[in-house]
């Protein structure tokens, strides 16, 4: 009897537990499948989705949107940004691959400093803003392969600059948003003007903060002008591509100014303001050549620079032609004996001095170096990679520039033409070699050992520049007008 009672109690407990489980399960089903609102109507709840973590991409996007709203809410009018008796502050932004952007802007910066403006310079990569005063003995040491002492190798900077984040082709959206976020957070005092050399973030920053800006670069020429009628049909798509590219970069700016060293249009564009070092070099080079009456007893001298470090084939070609070749950048290695001498130079600040004694320049197809060669009347061979639309257009336009006697200064073709097997050397290369062999620039330097020549009475003449103006003249007029509007009364 006791066993039956005990067994019954156990069954009763199990029944109670089972009943409780059934009641809990039923309650859960009611809560999960049905719910009543305050009106008594039955509603079916949606399935609960798993909670998502906020991605890094979303966080950066939100932060940038909040930052943008904050900037726009504090956007001020540009009036009263220049105080009487205080130098107007200009922020100058340098952008781009190669060295053409900073060399093309340095001439304009020199003019602005001379006119009393206070410059704050930003760059997207380290740049050699130096002035190298090199005497003839130092150049001769380099040509002979001798070691320079520390004093000769030193280069004090002319203007200080700060590095900023850049936006380049191939970056992901995350990288672009991150760079924009860094660039749009202003920590400096409000400037009077922003000048941008092809730098998109600074153009956008000028718009968001209500600061007047000037977007001035060679590439703006494509955005401001339709393809000329004389342009070959094969290059029209390249022109339109450059037009869209530069148009997008400059869409936020107050003023847009393109420039070009070739009068390619019926209404010529201004030519770039070149560095004062180039102007001085061209004057002294021409005076030395005119005073030289000797006979060339040395190899002709060719100076090379390649943005993408891809000049080895053309350097080898120049050495085989019997030229001495000064190489700026990485030194190529050749395993055979060549007629000319290879002279590597690692310090880019010597480039202008070597231009002054060069019989020819061989380089990538950047426009500024071509403009400097045209001004100094140095024969140049410019090369470009197929697909590099800007360099290809630069070379084509420069090849149209001729003296009255039909002679040219700029020759050019693609790297691919030189590398094609079982093909003849491009005719442009042979024409360049001929011009180099006609030059006495290096001979005049060797003959005089670089002695100073009195150039006070020498008048530098270049018929290719007649009828053109410098871009700095237009920019100074813009600055004067903006300064009049923005001066505090």
Buried b or exposed e, range 209-229, using 16+ CB within 10 angstroms: bbbbbbbbbbbbbbbbbebee
Q: What is the per-residue pLDDT for 474?
A: 96
CB neighbourhood size of 421 (10 A): 4
Distance CA(343)–CA(291), nearest Å, equals 27
- Are 484 and 84 in contact by the 8 Å Cβ rule? The answer is no
Question: For every residue of 23-34, which 3-state class applies, written as one string?
Answer: HHHHHHHHHHHC
Tens of pLDDT, residue by residue over 123-155, are 888 776 555 667 778 888 888 888 776 555 545
Nearest Cα to Cα of residue 370 among 348, 391, 351, 385:
391
**3 state DSSP class of 199:** coil
Encode the chain (489 residues) as per-residue pLDDT tens digits.
443 444 444 434 444 444 444 444 544 444 444 444 444 445 445 455 555 555 655 666 666 666 666 555 555 555 566 777 788 899 999 886 667 888 889 999 999 999 999 998 888 887 765 556 677 788 888 888 887 765 555 455 567 788 887 777 667 777 777 777 777 776 677 888 999 988 888 888 888 888 899 999 999 999 988 898 889 999 999 999 999 988 888 888 999 999 999 887 777 789 999 999 999 999 999 999 988 877 667 899 999 999 888 899 999 999 999 999 999 988 888 877 888 999 999 888 889 999 999 999 999 999 999 999 999 999 999 999 999 999 999 999 999 999 988 899 999 999 999 887 556 789 999 999 999 999 999 999 988 775 667 777 888 999 888 888 999 999 999 999 998 887 765
Q: What is the model's pTM?
A: 0.80
Distance CA(173)–CA(260), nearest Å, equals 33
Tens of pLDDT, residue by residue over 161-191, are 888 877 776 677 777 777 777 777 766 778 8
Distance CA(226)–CA(257), nearest Å, equals 15
* Phi, psi for 413 (deg, rounded to 5): -165, 180
**Cα dihedral across residues 334, 340, 345, 348: positive or negative:** negative
Q: What is the per-residue pLDDT for 7?
A: 40
DSSP H or E stretch at residue 427? helix 427-437
Q: How many helices (H) and strands (E) does the chain have?
A: 18, 14
* Phi, psi for 343 (deg, rounded to 5): -120, 95
């Amino acid at each position: 009897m006791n066993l039956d009672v005990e067994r019954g109690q156990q069954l009763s407990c199990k029944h109670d537990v089972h009943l409780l489980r059934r009641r809990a399960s039923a309650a859960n089903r009611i809560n999960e499948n049905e719910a009543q609102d305050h009106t008594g109507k039955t509603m079916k709840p949606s399935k609960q989705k798993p909670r998502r973590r906020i991605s890094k991409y979303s966080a950066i996007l939100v932060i940038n949107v909040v930052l943008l709203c904050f900037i726009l809410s504090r956007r001020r009018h540009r009036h009263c940004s220049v105080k009487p008796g205080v130098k107007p502050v200009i922020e100058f932004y340098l952008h781009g691959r190669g060295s053409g952007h900073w060399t093309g802007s340095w001439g304009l910066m020199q003019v602005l400093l001379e006119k009393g403006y206070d410059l704050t310079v930003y760059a997207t990569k380290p740049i050699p803003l130096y002035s190298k005063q090199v005497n003839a003995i130092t150049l001769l040491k380099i040509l002979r392969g001798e070691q320079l002492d520390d004093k000769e190798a030193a280069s004090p900077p002319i203007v200080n600059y700060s590095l900023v984040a850049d936006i380049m082709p191939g970056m992901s959206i995350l990288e672009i948003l991150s760079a924009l976020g860094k660039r749009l957070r202003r920590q400096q005092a409000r400037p009077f003007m922003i000048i941008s050399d092809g730098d998109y973030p600074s153009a956008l920053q000028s718009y968001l903060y209500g600061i007047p800006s000037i977007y001035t670069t060679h590439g703006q020429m494509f955005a401001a002008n339709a393809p000329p009628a004389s342009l070959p049909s094969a290059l029209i798509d390249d022109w339109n591509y450059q037009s869209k590219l530069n148009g997008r970069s400059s869409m936020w700016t107050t003023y847009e100014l393109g420039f070009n060293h070739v009068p390619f249009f019926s209404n010529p564009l201004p030519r770039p303001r070149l560095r004062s070092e180039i102007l001085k070099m061209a004057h002294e080079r021409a005076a030395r050549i005119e005073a030289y009456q000797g006979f060339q007893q040395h190899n002709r001298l060719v100076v090379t620079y390649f943005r993408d470090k891809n000049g080895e084939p053309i350097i080898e070609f120049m050495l085989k032609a019997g030229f001495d070749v000064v190489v700026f950048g990485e030194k190529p290695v050749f395993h055979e004996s060549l007629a000319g001498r290879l002279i590597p130079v690692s310090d880019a600040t010597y480039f202008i001095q070597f231009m002054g004694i060069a019989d020819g320049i061989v380089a990538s197809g950047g426009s500024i170096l071509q403009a400097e060669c045209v001004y100094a009347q140095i024969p140049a061979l410019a090369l470009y990679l197929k697909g590099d639309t800007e360099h290809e257009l630069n070379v084509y336009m420069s090849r149209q520039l001729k003296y009255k006697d039909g002679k040219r200064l700029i020759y050019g073709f693609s790297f691919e033409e030189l590398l094609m097997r079982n093909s003849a050397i491009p005719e442009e290369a042979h024409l360049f070699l001929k011009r180099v062999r006609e030059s006495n620039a290096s001979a005049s330097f060797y003959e005089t050992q670089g002695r100073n020549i009195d150039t006070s009475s020498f008048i530098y003449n270049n018929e290719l520049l007649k009828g053109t103006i410098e871009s700095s003249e237009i920019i100074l007029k813009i600055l004067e007008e903006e300064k009049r509007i923005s001066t505090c009364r």
